[in-house]
């Protein structure tokens, strides 16, 4: 029973999975921020082009 408890305490695979999940979430937030900013910029640019074509 001691060995099972010792192995459980020494196992770090769950912590590694959580770290990878946090890294993936951070990257996803960065991508969302960039795409959102790019979308706003493109909307303004196409609006300007549309106005100048009228």
Residues 25-50 have pLDDT tens digits of 999 999 999 999 999 999 999 999 99
In a domain, 30, yes or no: yes
Domain count across the chain:
1
Q: Is residue 35 part of a domain?
A: yes
In a domain, 49, yes or no: yes
- Do the domain assignments include residue 40? yes
**Structural domain span for residue 33:** 24-53
pTM of this prediction? 0.60
pLDDT in tens, 2-28: 788 777 777 777 778 889 999 999 999
Write the DSSP symbol of residue 31: H
- CA 44 from centroid of its chain's CA atoms: 26
């Amino acid at each position: 029973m001691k060995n099972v408890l010792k192995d459980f305490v020494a196992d770090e695979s769950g912590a590694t999975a959580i770290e990878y999940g946090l890294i993936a979430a951070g990257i996803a937030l960065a991508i969302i921020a960039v795409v959102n900013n790019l979308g706003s910029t493109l909307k303004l640019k196409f609006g300007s082009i549309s106005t100048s074509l009228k």
